[in-house]
Structure 1
């Protein structure tokens, strides 16, 4: 059995999760919707800039420490990374853990930054 390449794996996972656009994320933020925004990048990346209001929880420890952010399985959660791949994996794993309202930011931090100009 051949293991899928990373891009193939991400493409398959994206069929199983919900992605949110930068525009939709901004609408949610402006409307002050009740949701958790999680930056799943490594600390070095997060230190160079984060979306305001995000909690930093690197992908490598997300499953171990998500309870420090929320234990509410119905809470709306938006994960983001640099470009959208790691956050897709993060959203998928959180769904597997029973979280019901998890999304990944399409285009990640780079896409959001290009769109928002921040």
Structure 2
């Protein structure tokens, strides 16, 4: 699928602000800090197939609206 230039620009801008990690890094982080929130932004149909135990599902369409009330600690 070919995306429009405005969408591509938005993705590039956001990529610079989003921290990603590998699966192994995530496993290590969860093992060291079991209170760390994990946010699953996948679609409902994807979450029904499985979710990380303890993860919080916030659909991507409402993430910005709901995240602060569900996860007040921005760190």
Residue 6 of structure 1: CA displacement? 4.0
Instruction: Give the Cα separation in 1 of the matches to 2:9 and 2:49.
Output: 29
Residue 48 of structure 1: CA displacement? 1.0
Residue 7 of structure 1: CA displacement? 4.8
Residue 10 of structure 1: CA displacement? 2.5
Aligned residues: 72
> What pairs up with 1:1-118 in 2 under 5 angstroms?
4=5, 6-7=7-8, 9-74=10-75
Unaligned 5+ residue runs, structure 2?
Answer: none
Q: TM-score, normalised by structure 2?
A: 0.74
Q: TM-score, normalised by structure 1?
A: 0.51
Unaligned 5+ residue runs, structure 1?
Answer: 75-118
Q: 1 or 2, which has the higher strand percentage?
A: 1
Larger radius of gyration: 2
Instruction: Give the Cα separation in 2 of the matches to 1:7 and 1:51.
Output: 29
